[in-house]
Structure 1
Amino acid sequence: MPDQTTRRLVVAFNFPPFTDGSAVTVAKRIIEADVPVDVFSADLSSVRARDESLWDLVSPWIRDHQTVKVPILFADERSLVPFVTAGETAIRKRGTSYDEVYSRSMWPHSHFLAARLRTAGHADRWIAEFSDPILWHVDGTPRPSGTTSLKGSNLRLLRAVDHRSQTFLRNNATVLAWAQFIPFLLADQLVFTNEQQLTVMLSDAPEWMRAGVEKKAVIAPHPTLGSEHYRDESEPTATPSSSRYSIGYFGTFYPNRGGGEFLEAISLLPAEMRERLELHVFTADAGTLLDVAARLNISDCVHRRPPLPFRDFLRVSGRYDALLVNDIATSPFGVPSPFLPSKYSDYAGSSAATMAITLPSSPLDNKPARWRAHVGDVDGIARMLASAITVG
């Protein structure tokens, strides 16, 4: 039984009701832990849509939630410093001492504020989670980052580490570098979603830092909510055809990141099989998807649906025969992939089968799936689809 008396603070720059992948994961972490928390987050109304169902999902565990308005800039001190200052001021005025503070990237702001609260004595323990390798895009190119000024709260963080670490941080004074290495140095526990992510992020650290990171590292894939969240009591909207093998995809569909191969595989199927297949993509941006489908003459198989609130997505997912999830097309990191799609954890709780297009030996490839084919193998994807349609 979780300790209900422990005081926990969640620092999450992006948090419900604003919706994105990290906000969903933080909400699920809170539900999974099953203890009340206070939350400090940012107002993301200028860059993120609201999903009140996501807030309704997590709100029973929220004791106090404070949101601050700051400029919304990704790796820029013009946004980060006001967030840290506002958070530290709010916690100091509240006069609360926490047993534990938890923060999660992406958005680097969260780790900076959590580090400051830990070093200032406002929390006895700091758990820092990383959603993805901070320093790299999925294609292996560096993420652009603003610099960190060596003053104010940053200077206080610098003084909290030893001389060798200070020299390293001074020589790597960017927002994203500090968002990775400050937790490496100061957090009490480091959470990664898969082993290959840890491998890639360790390779960015100097050798003398790695043993300490490995000692504090925990592998914790994205949580899957309980079956009660998938019970379908909603109105019969977005219902797939009962006469076709139906595949659902929820989120942005990237034809240039593996999705195009899936559409091409559909086009390779015999006409009688294509007539028994439909793909529903729930997304706000489907222009490229529909253009590619039209070019491949499979428009009758591919349907765009409007995005659903998170709780409706969970309930509707079970109406499909299979739910599609895919790795990106390449991995230039020296490992099969440091990215585990968070969508898999939501599909895993559904009664629908999972259909995974994976890089061999990737974190996704190591997960259970009813149907599986490999990235780049269009003929193999077509064979998988033919088997799924035949078996039903």
Structure 2
Amino acid sequence: MRNDSSNASLWVSAMRKSTADRLIVAFNFPPFTDGSAVTVAKRIVEADVPVDVVSADLSAVRSRDESLVDLVAPWLVEHHTVKVPVLFADERSLVPFVERGLIAVRQRRGRPYEEVYSRSMWPHSHFLAARLRSEGDAHRWIAEFSDPILWHADATLRPSGAVSLSGANLRLLRAVGSRAQAFLRENATVLAWAQFVPFLLADELVFTNEQQLQVMLNDAPEWMRAGVESRATISPHPTLPASHYRAEKGSPQPSPQDRFSIGYFGTFYPNRGGGEFLEAISLLPASLRARITLDVYTGDAGHLLDAAIRLGVADSVRKQSPLQYRRFLQTSNSYNALLVNDIATSPFGVPSPFLPSKYSDYAGSTTDTMAITLPGSPLDQKPARWRAHVGDVDGIAAMLEEAVVATGKNILFP
């Protein structure tokens, strides 16, 4: 590892002698624990080709997970980690990431990449990839969108800093037609450009579900939409092969359960769907409630435990420490059900443009999925052994009763 004038540290894999023809631009990337970083890592495994990577040092805002590094290491040739201020939709972070990323790539690379792939969130990734594609450093650009860039899950607009109409941004403007130039000048914010510059310049646009594509198309002017649709690909988050879920010999396993055990991995929001699940448990007869354990693997459990106490279900809820990614996959096999839920949203014109990435990890587990969905949402269209709908507390309680009774023959209940 060394530092160069680009403020980027460089890691070169000893596992591969070949050079890479594909560059991954991912502001958030392993070893940092982040949902988008995990998805990019799984995309690399799925593609199964050598890659170089440019990413940011997220030490200030994310913890590390070395199992994510192990996941991508067989495909990683060179990894440039760029040190910049970590700010979301702000040019004070975005501009140095792009400039230092360009220097890092060009100092090590004497010819263009066949392909550059970038993924939001964060918006930085698409800006660097756009420069690489428009300035001849890559022959093809694949831009993936994790969620609608412009909108929060509650359908409110995300705040965004401005884009300066000078310097390198003027070169990006010159890469598009006159009508597109006028549109970008009128919508000169970081998040707007993070969506519309890929819409104009990327060779392929990847969305996780059809409803996300529809919402993002609705944000675009009508003259832009046909071109976007012609280059759009729908590709849900990848699921890793079964080998990644098998526990290593000698690794500790959860204690055997004497209840119907439900696993939930990640932040559990009582005010975003979690509260009604706890309320549904409270509606069950005491004899059934005593047979249920909900394990929540999270670093922030204050609101969860407060809600459980308030609803009288504290005996059915256990807070567990967060797990590194590999351990999470292995532990997922130890439960009777894995819980995933949609978040109730204000109207987008579609049931939901969001597909929880957690579902793709659950899909590879031997444990069945328990899904609480919005009718017609992308999650609602996925297979699940048990299903109820957001807002239907009685329906969730009935689902839980059915699951406990159906699985009871395999559990030694007290």
Alignment TM-score, normalising by the size of structure 2 = 0.92
Q: Does 1:114 align with 2:129?
A: yes
How much has 1:232 moved relative to structure 2?
A: 1.8
Partner SS, residue 325 of structure 1: strand
Residues 1-392 of structure 1 aligned to structure 2 (within 5 Å) = 7-94=21-108, 95-233=110-248, 237=252, 239=254, 241-392=256-407
Kindly indicate whether the alpha-carbon contact (under 8 Å) linking 1:196 and 1:337 is maintained by their aligned counterparts in 2. yes
Kindly indicate whether the alpha-carbon contact (under 8 Å) linking 1:251 and 1:307 is maintained by their aligned counterparts in 2. yes
Partner SS, residue 323 of structure 2: coil
Q: Distance in 2 between matches of 1:43 and 1:236?
A: 30
Kindly indicate whether the alpha-carbon contact (under 8 Å) linking 2:20 and 2:52 is maintained by their aligned counterparts in 1. no
1:324-364 per-residue CA deviation (whole Å, 9 max, x = no partner) reads: 00000234211000000000000000000000000000000
Residue identity matched to 2:143 = A
Kindly indicate whether the alpha-carbon contact (under 8 Å) linking 2:155 and 2:345 is maintained by their aligned counterparts in 1. no
How much has 1:386 moved relative to structure 2?
A: 0.2
Count of matched residue positions in the alignment of Structure 1 and Structure 2? 389
Partner SS, residue 258 of structure 1: helix
Q: 1:5 to 1:237 in 2, by over 3 A?
A: closer
Residue identity matched to 1:29 = R
1:16-45 per-residue CA deviation (whole Å, 9 max, x = no partner) reads: 000110000000000000001000000000
Q: Distance in 1 between matches of 2:345 and 2:192?
A: 24
How much has 1:96 moved relative to structure 2?
A: 3.6
Residue identity matched to 1:198 = L
Structure 1 unmatched runs, 5+: none
Partner SS, residue 336 of structure 1: coil
Kindly indicate whether the alpha-carbon contact (under 8 Å) linking 2:119 and 2:125 is maintained by their aligned counterparts in 1. yes
Partner SS, residue 315 of structure 2: coil
Residue identity matched to 2:189 = T
1:176-198 per-residue CA deviation (whole Å, 9 max, x = no partner) reads: 00000000000000000000000
Residue identity matched to 2:105 = I
Partner SS, residue 363 of structure 1: coil
Q: Distance in 1 between matches of 2:296 and 2:328?
A: 12
Kindly indicate whether the alpha-carbon contact (under 8 Å) linking 2:296 and 2:319 is maintained by their aligned counterparts in 1. yes
Q: Distance in 1 between matches of 2:374 and 2:31?
A: 33
Partner SS, residue 367 of structure 1: coil
Structure 2 unmatched runs, 5+: 1-17, 408-414
* Identical aligned residues as a percent: 74
How much has 1:118 moved relative to structure 2?
A: 0.3
Residue identity matched to 2:78 = D
Partner SS, residue 32 of structure 1: helix
Q: Distance in 1 between matches of 2:145 and 2:304?
A: 30
Alignment TM-score, normalising by the size of structure 1 = 0.98
Q: Distance in 2 between matches of 1:176 and 1:225?
A: 31
How much has 1:238 moved relative to structure 2?
A: 6.5
How much has 1:93 moved relative to structure 2?
A: 1.6
Kindly indicate whether the alpha-carbon contact (under 8 Å) linking 2:20 and 2:77 is maintained by their aligned counterparts in 1. no
Q: Distance in 1 between matches of 2:341 and 2:147?
A: 16
Q: Distance in 1 between matches of 2:77 and 2:391?
A: 48
Kindly indicate whether the alpha-carbon contact (under 8 Å) linking 2:90 and 2:160 is maintained by their aligned counterparts in 1. yes
RMSD: 1.2
Q: 1:293 to 1:26 in 2, by over 3 A?
A: same
How much has 1:240 moved relative to structure 2?
A: 5.3
Partner SS, residue 213 of structure 1: helix
Kindly indicate whether the alpha-carbon contact (under 8 Å) linking 1:240 and 1:320 is maintained by their aligned counterparts in 2. no
Q: Distance in 2 between matches of 1:241 and 1:90?
A: 50
Residue identity matched to 2:169 = N
Q: Distance in 2 between matches of 1:373 and 1:253?
A: 18
1:125-155 per-residue CA deviation (whole Å, 9 max, x = no partner) reads: 0000000000000000000000000112211
Q: Distance in 2 between matches of 1:199 and 1:241?
A: 45
How much has 1:89 moved relative to structure 2?
A: 1.3
1:353-381 per-residue CA deviation (whole Å, 9 max, x = no partner) reads: 00000000000000000000000000000
Kindly indicate whether the alpha-carbon contact (under 8 Å) linking 1:77 and 1:148 is maintained by their aligned counterparts in 2. yes
1:162-209 per-residue CA deviation (whole Å, 9 max, x = no partner) reads: 000000000000000000000000000000000000000000000000
